[in-house]
Amino acid sequence: MTLRTHILGFPRMGENRELKFALERYWRGEISTDGLEKTGRELRARHWALQRDAGLDFVTVGDFAFYDQVANHIQWTGCEPRRFGFSGAEPDLFRYFTMARGVAGEKDAASGKSAPALEMTKWFDTNYHYLVPEFSAGTTFSVHAERLFSELAEARALGHPVKVALIGPLSFLWLGKEKTAGFSRLDLLERILPVYQQILARLHAGGADWVQMEEPILGLDLPPSWQQAFEPAYHQLAATDARIMLASYFSPLKENFNLACRLPVAGLHIDAVRAPEDALLAADWLPAHRVLSLGLIDGRNIWRSDLDQALAFLRSGRLATLRELWLAPSCSLLHVPFSVATETRLDAELRSWMSFAVEKLQELQTLKQAAQEKADLETLLAESRQATQSRENSPRVHTPEVAARLKALPADIDRRKSPFQERRRVQEARFHLPLLPTTTIGSFPQTAQVRAARAAFRRGEMNEAAYTAAMQDEIARAIAFQEALGLDALVHGEAERNDMVEYFGEQLAGFAFTANGWVQSYGSRCVKPPIIYGDVSRPRPMTVHWSRHAQSLTAKPVKGMLTGPITILQWSFVRDDQPRETTANQIALAIRDETRDLEQAGIGIIQIDEPAIREGLPLRREHWAGYLAWATRAFRIAASGVADDTQIHTHMCYSEFNDILPEIAAMDADVITIETSRSDMELLRAFASFHYPNEIGPGVYDIHSPRVPSVEEIENLLEKALSVIPAGQLWVNPDCGLKTRDWPETKAALAHMVEAAKRLRARQELQDTTT
């Protein structure tokens, strides 16, 4: 058997987040376009060299992006939305970042208004965000992929055999949104296919050995029209000379399996971590002249692979008889950190259990050598075996007290004392909030001084008393700022927090933290997910002293800010030796303990953020009910230990809620705030149609963009909200937390938001008195 190794993609930020810092310097005007391009070239060359040095048979080109790979394809296929008013003469990076960031002043060709950035949402069930393509009946396509062709030439000039990664045409269309009524984006397939053909021909002529055509939507429940579109589309693409490796990942193919095997491509990649049954079936079904690629190394998690298990799988069934087989990670390594090698602060035992992107390259090579029996198995697999056995037997993984508490939970642990309408009456009597109350989602901009103080405290260069005083000063400034603006429900600003998940994980048992385990979330935004390796519990209160101090500074309610159990679960690298439901319930009990302590400290409004609850949905609808049952129960466990007059808020973003509204209502939060501004309040209509029973705060401006919306723009969005949600249920707030923004734009935007709410409140009250 001929064995080859490859990867579907590599982390693009760099070992030391070089791309992040270059991007931010570029946006601040500190480096030129040439400087940014130089950083990109250096990173690509470095990452290709790592792939070559690990023994991979191909390096992957096309996975690099200055912001997002879907945004790349918007440019490469020439379908930048007309609303940005581009003439085509602007530099491609100017247009690219305008679409991504919605820079103020770029005019909408139709209305003359400033153009918001493209909507952003989660990439399937990952924590990566992509920019959503916008399609209309008039959308046209043309080849503008010189950047891709140039990157291919770079790799070829360095002597690398190349496989180019592209998002397939059907997945690209699926990932977009229709912006005009009475039109299906699938209708654009005939227009985009010739463009893909031209790109494939250019790649082949440029020396690409293979083209990895990613069609992850084959793992979804597709409508028949989309299923039926695949065969004619790929027959058209097969007319080029390019060798196509069709790649699906994240989910079993199920009813699309036969379709995937029939398509006229040169190879098929299967995610054998999430769909091992597909891999075994493909060995039987694929024609002999087509190559099978198996994603045996988990590209979504950081645990070292059990290579004995992987080797046994390779030797099972028809797999052992194939003439050629490719080995790969299950998906792009974009979703894991760069390398374990820099994690010197982790203890040796924990570090031995882990494998990041660079180590996964090495695991691929070891698996290939073991399968080819080119060395003694005992020697080759010694590290993998030792890590597997150490993790299975380590006493730090299991805590009997945590297991006993879970086992003894009463049946009504997830229920508030009274229904919402009864709670609402006592909450109104306690807080006396006005119509259309204003608030923020939690965090405020973190200045260099705040970050420096946190870093000094971590390094031991600032003692606890000095650090506490610095953070309390920042809290006082945040409270004074909000009172001056006239906000109604305040927040303490979260100056002491590095990240909404990491902050809590650092104070919970069962979590470990990396120094450099950064993963791209979107654009230049990187997160450092905690690692859940053992049973979770809360040794001591985590937020109470900060919230108590903030509340002492004002007569207005200050929200206690917590991250919910499902978001902590989803935004961490989770142990894979027990059901996720069990881990979620352990976290929920820890958050429950914190809510009760906040209540005892006099905090009357507690926000338990769950932005990730929808992204945890299985990609296949048949598994939704099971997930939603335990996920919403975990939230209720966390939220239900408080009295009726304590108001529970939750926040969600980056999600389409239409299909899970009953389950969101079942979470029974008193107030939910959601991201809606980029969708022009489109998401809110689903809540209205469903007759969402509790209170709701639709985001009225996009915090991911530096642009400051006008008072009139926010008024317009609030008018749209009032057309579908009664004023008595409506809150006014930004889309999300403000940590990543600068203070000047934050002050201006919040001032506009408060003014818009005052105007609407006055009109609404006048209308009520006249009727």
Which residues form the catalytic set?
Answer: 704
Phi and psi at residue 222, to the nearest 5°: -90, 140
Residue 507 tokens read as 């104070």
Compute the distance between CA of residue 47 and CA of residue 56 in angstroms, rounded to an integer: 12
401, with CB counted inside 10 A (0-12, 13-18, 19+), is exposed
Say if residues 413 and 640 touch (Cβ distance below 8 Å).
yes
How many Cα atoms occupy the beta-carbon half-sphere of 269 within 13 Å?
31
Paired residues of 649 in beta bridges: 607, 671
Say if residues 547 and 553 touch (Cβ distance below 8 Å).
no
Residue 207 tokens read as 């020396």
Q: How far is CA 304 from the centre of its chain?
A: 23
Paired residues of 223 in beta bridges: none
Q: Is 620 left (phi over 0), alpha (psi -120 to 50) or beta?
A: beta
Closest CA to 187 of 225, 133, 236, 237: 225
**What is the end-to-end Cα distance of the chain in Å, rounded?**
82
Say if residues 710 and 752 touch (Cβ distance below 8 Å).
yes
Cα-based distances in Å from 430 to 250, 312, 605, 709: 47, 64, 11, 33
DSSP letters of 107-175?
BPTTT-SB-PPPPEEESTTSS-EEEPPEE-TT-------HHHHHHHHHHHHTT--EEEEEE-HHHHHHT
Say if residues 644 and 417 touch (Cβ distance below 8 Å).
yes
Phi and psi at residue 377, to the nearest 5°: -60, -40
Q: How far is CA 65 from the centre of its chain?
A: 16
Compute the distance between CA of residue 17 and CA of residue 11 in angstroms, rounded to an integer: 10
Compute the distance between CA of residue 589 and CA of residue 404 in angstroms, rounded to an integer: 12
Closest CA to 65 of 123, 107, 1: 123
Compute the distance between CA of residue 578 and CA of residue 563 in angstroms, rounded to an integer: 22
E strand or H helix that includes residue 209:
none
- Residue count of the chain, please give it: 771
Compute the distance between CA of residue 433 and CA of residue 565 in angstroms, rounded to an integer: 29
Closest CA to 51 of 345, 364, 511: 364
Say if residues 707 and 625 touch (Cβ distance below 8 Å).
no
| Amino acid letter, residue 425 | R
| Amino acid letter, residue 665 | A
